[in-house]
Every structure is written in C-alpha cells, then in structure tokens.
Structure 1
C-alpha cells in the first residue's frame, strides 16, 4: 500500500466545516504552526462528548527531527487544552500515516488507543487521471471498458445538474439502494444540504438516464487537485445497461477536463484488508458486498495500489468516561451487570 500522494484533504476544509454546521453539528476550528485539526463535536447519551477530527490532524512536516517533534507536542497540547474547555472526554483522530500517528503517541503522555471502529474507510482507491483518455481507457480491465461501451451503445445518457427534480430522483435512488442492501443512509435533508451549502463549482449531481428514467446518480465533490465520488444510488431496474460504469467514466472525464489530477472512488477492501472479527454469516455477507464494490472500482485502474490509512485512534482525556463508553457499546455487558 502506498501513502497519500495527493493534496488538500476535503474533510479538513472550510467547506466541509460549513456543511457540517449546516446539518446542525458543532464544529471546532484549530490550526497552528503547519498543523490542522478541524473537528466535529459528538454528544453521546450518558457518556458525554467527544471530538472527531476527520482525516486529521494534518501536519506538513516530517516527524523525524527533534524540532518537528517538539512542535507537534506543542500543537497536540494546545488541541487538548481547547478540547477540555469543551468538556471533551476523548479526541478521535485519523492520522495521515503511521509516522504522524507515532508522533502523536510520543507527543501525548496519556493513552492513544485504537478506536473501537473506523469513522472513514481505512482503505480508499484513488486513481491518477493525468494521462490522456485513450490511455485511461486502455489501462482499465477489459470488462470495465466493455461495460462503458455497452452503456453508450444502449443509449444511457449522463449529465451533471443541481436541479431540484433530479436531486429528488437521487434521494429516491439512495433510499431504494439502502433498503436493497440493508444499510442505513443519511436523512434526505442531509443530502439536500450538499446543494444548498456547497457552491456549484464544488458539488454536482451526476445523473445517468435511460429511456427517460433516472437509473443512477452520484454526488461528486471537486476540491483541490482531487475529485471525490461521495454518495451514489442506483435503481434495481435496467441493470443490464451498465449505467454505473458510464456514470463513473463521465465523472472522471469531467474531472480531468477541469484540471484535477486525482479521482477518489472512496472505500475499498482488498483481500489483505478483510475484517476478521465477525460471525461467519456476517463475514460472508460483508465480504461479498465489499468484493463487488472493490472489483467495480479497481476495474477502472487495476494497476493502481489502494491507499491505506492507519485508521481511527482515540486520545483519551477521561479514562473513566471512555471505559464507560466501551462498556455501553456491548449489550451483553449491560445485561450481565443487571442480572448478576
């Protein structure tokens, strides 16, 4: 797995903070000395609050030199002081790489523990789109390339829009997709906020239409040198026309035409990163779901290595509250304590 080689993290941006505030979340802005740690306050019943720093902190310096280590220590202490003013019990971080994680562990004298679950995908698939279109097509898996051509031949049309009627169609697709796959989606209002909060040059809805019907649609974010496929929904009908393949390809083409360098497909799980700690039935379903998602995304650039993050870690400020939080996460603990 390679380290991140593209710049300007979306989830640490002012635009993302504005979006989070628009959906009713309390945000914290923190930056100091080449150190960025913008975050979101989460409140949990019985436990209290924790601060979540998505895809951060970001530090521009290597942590090898003594001076940089001291600077990181100072920034971490400032962040902790600000968090304590908000009565935060722990700070959930998602470091850029293992070097930054190790630097944070050395900078904080208390506990820095692996979080019980990841907030963002630990493994993502980011494609370099600086080559010309012919080369991008040539490097795809033959099945991916074939399905793009098939969708074109069958008459699937792709366009970008922010019109309300297409946003409504997207919301219906998201609801249908979530129900079909048995996953929990955000509220309809949450998705609408992307279009009322983020400017048009940053956020677009890409739509695939077939025979007058919207059969697939994606929210796509343009930020820095990277374009991100953020949310998507598909209809259960007309799967044979392969609309999602053409939809992604057109998104890549637009990203390239607008001068971006990378296209972020979001989360994947390669064979080396399958989750182990689950029942056999859960593992089988999870593996099958992720196998299909991963195969679809990787097909656009099979020679590209996925990007791996260390995952989520918690800087524990209140050990008692953190223990109680982990205790409450497991219903068996509660039942045992009530009936022992």
Structure 2
C-alpha cells in the first residue's frame, strides 16, 4: 500500500469539516496539557489516483508521562480505501515513528459506521483484524466518544423537519414559545460572552453533578471562546482579490456559540454549539430544575437547529445517545429527547487501540477497566 505520512506545521494544517481534526481542536486540547501533532496522509487508491487528508494526533499523559496517542474521529471511512483495516494498520505503523518511547499504544475514535450492529468484543476484534498482517487491533475498555449518535439532516425546510419529529417533541417546542421562553445567542465577539458563560457554567456544573457526567473546568470553556476569537481575527486578515473566494480556499475555522433559554430573566438552560464547515455539533449543555414545565430545552434545540441551518449547515450531530431505546437504562430520557427531533440513529465502531508496548498497554487497560467499574 503506497501510504505516506508527513509531519506538517500547524499553520499549514489543512482545515476540514471535521471539528475534531482541525488546528483549532489541537490548539484547544493543548491548553489542557495534551501535545498536538499535525500530519498529512497521502495514499494511492486501486486506480493509482492520489488522495490526501489531514490527521491530528494528540499525545496524552498519565502520571506526567506520555502514555498514548489519541486520534479523534479519524480517518474517515469515506476517504480511505475499501481495505480500511489494512490501511489503518499501515497508518499506525507509520505514526509509531513519530511517537515518544513512553507511548504504549495508539487510540482511535473511529468514525466508521458499524453496519453489523455487533456488540460482542470478540466478534468485533475478528472483523477489525481481518486481512491485517499483525492482528494487533484491540477494542478499548470503553468508548471515549459515544459510539452511537443521532444526526439530523438540515436540508429539509423547517416545516418538513417539524413534521418528521416525534409528536411529543413538536408539542414541547410549541409549549416553550407559549410559555414566553426567550432565547439568546452569544459568540466570541459578544461583549458579555464571558459573564454569560460564567452564569451558564454554574448551571452546567450542577447538571453534571445531577446526571453524573464528567465536568470540564470553567477555564476550558473560556479557552474555547478566547481561541475562537483569535482564529476568527486571523482569518479576517486573509484578503481575496476583489472579494472573490478562490476555489482552493480552505474551510473556515470552527465557530462556537453560546445559546441560552430564559424566562423572567431567569436562565433555564444553556447550550454550546460548534459549526465546522457544513457540520453543526451539540457540544455541551446545561439545564436548571426550575420551570421545567416550560420545556426550555426543546425550544432551545429548535432555535439551534434553525440557526445552524441559516449558517449553511447540512447536518446537526447530537453528539451521543445510548445504543438503543432501553427503558431501564438511566440514559433512556436522553435517547428519547435527542431522537425525538427526527434525526437518524448512527452506530460507529467506537474506540480502538493499536498496542505498541503490550505489557504497558495491558497494565493501562487493567487500571482503566477498574476505574470504569468504580
């Protein structure tokens, strides 16, 4: 397989519609102590046509030592050849050459659709290693990014989208407007962005504690909008002759927006939306227990959907749902809420590892598995 991996400077790292494979995302993760490595992958297909795509690799530490390389949502199966398992093996072998000696494995969050819908680890590993030389891929003890999600097609007209929604969802959206819930949008250029962000963060922290999910520090969210402004200002300095955008112009830098829903000056819910090219992402959310009968979360989502559509987005990723509609699951309500807007349920391969140091990798996974159980 004719595959070449070339390290590039972040300033010339090609932008893409994939939020998690952008210079911006690497810079954001750098503020958390991770080290971004930027590459360009070039390969030839079976017809000898050359293709390339950008690849962001994040070095992550465990106890102050770089322990693994993490690759979020890449490579895209729409880009790479049909023998994607062999392609990923060759890519992994080339990535190894650029990693510190302490790195024990490479971890991928694969954006490959799991069409077999199998959940058995043994069966998945057989399929994943089929045709490879080293049979070295291992299913990670847990998925970093949720392996199931709901993606809404934003191409239809708003009335068509409303018609496709679950009736309860549609009624809840209308209820929010009848209850006089109002909505606000802030971006990195808004004078009050950081005050509104602080107010929303308090609600986010309460939501995380109530629903038992990982809570990012406030500084992380502040950095999102600080970096967003820096990247936007840098992009504005790129002038095109006579205002004509060239055909080879890059995808614009990702944009982030803070949405809030309020009634009687009381903030009831908040949401951070990311837009990258034609893709919109439901990134982070917060909600209050106050006035839940007003259905602010439903109205807020409808505002976000229409806003993303107005920005030229064609898809809206709800970023994670339970794998099925199991009413006994503690996340059953999340499944009903997100799928109610009429999107397609998608199952991905999830998180996969390519061990380099097998002894260190086994030790890491044992500790990770114990941490999950606790």
- State the TM bucket, normalised to the shorter chain: 0.7 to 0.9
Superposed CA RMSD in Å reads 2.7
Runs of 5+ in structure 1 lacking a partner?
A: 1-6, 275-282, 333-340
Check if 1:234 corresponds to 2:264: no
Shift of 1:35: 4.6
Paired residues of 1:123 and 1:267 also in contact (CA < 8 A): yes
In terms of fraction of residues, the more strand-rich structure is: 2
Give the Cα–Cα distance (whole angstroms) in 1 for the partners of residues 96 and 277 of structure 2. Answer: 29
Equivalent residue number for residue 40 of structure 1 = 58
1:10 aligned residue: 19
**Alignment correspondent of 2:12:** none
In structure 1, the residue matched to 2:220 is: 190
Displacement of 1:86 in angstroms is 5.0
- Residue of structure 2 in register with 1:95 after alignment: 110
Q: Structure 1 residues 36, 308: closer, same or farther in 2, change over 3 A?
A: farther
Aligned residue in 1 for 2:80: 61
Provide the C-alpha distance between the structure 2 equivalents of 1:256 and 1:80, rounded to a whole number of angstroms: 40
Q: Deviations over 1:46-88 (max 9, x none)?
A: 9851111111233613224xxx8876654332112112x4531
Does 2:354 match 1:315?
A: yes
The match for 1:19 among 18, 24, 28 is 28
After superposing the two structures, state which structure 1 stretch, 188-197 or 85-94, moved more: 85-94
Shift in CA distance, 218/121, structure 1 to aligned 2, threshold 3 Å: same
1:6-53 CA distance string (max 9 Å, x none): x83211122211111133321121222025431211112398511111
SS at match of 2:293: helix
Pairwise CA distance, 1:156: 0.5
Between the aligned partners of 1:175 and 1:329, the Cα distance in structure 2 is 24
Pick closer, same or farther for the CA change 1:76–1:35 going to 2, 3 Å: farther
| SS of alignment partner, residue 261 of structure 2 | strand
Structure with the higher helix share, 1 or 2: 1
- Runs of 5+ unmatched residues, structure 2: 1-15, 43-51, 115-124, 188-192, 233-253
Report 1:282-321 matches (<5 A): 287-288=329-330, 290-301=331-342, 304-321=343-360
Rounded to whole Å, the distance in 2 between the matches of 1:98 and 1:156 is: 38
TM-score, normalised by the number of residues in structure 2: 0.75
Preserved contact between residue 20 and residue 72 of structure 2 (Cα < 8 Å): yes
Moved more, 205-214 or 11-20: 11-20
* 1:251-290 alpha-carbon deviations (Å, 9 max, x no partner): 0001111111011111111437x6xxxxxxxx95xx13x1
Query: How many residues are treated as equivalent by the alignment?
Result: 308
> Where do 1:1-340 residues align within 5 Å?
8-33=17-42, 34-45=52-63, 49-58=67-76, 60-64=79-83, 74-83=90-99, 85=100, 87-97=102-112, 106-107=131-132, 109=134, 111-162=136-187, 163-199=193-229, 202-271=255-324, 287-288=329-330, 290-301=331-342, 304-329=343-368
Q: Higher mean Cα deviation, 190-199 or 290-299?
A: 190-199
Per the normalisation by structure 1, the TM-score is 0.82
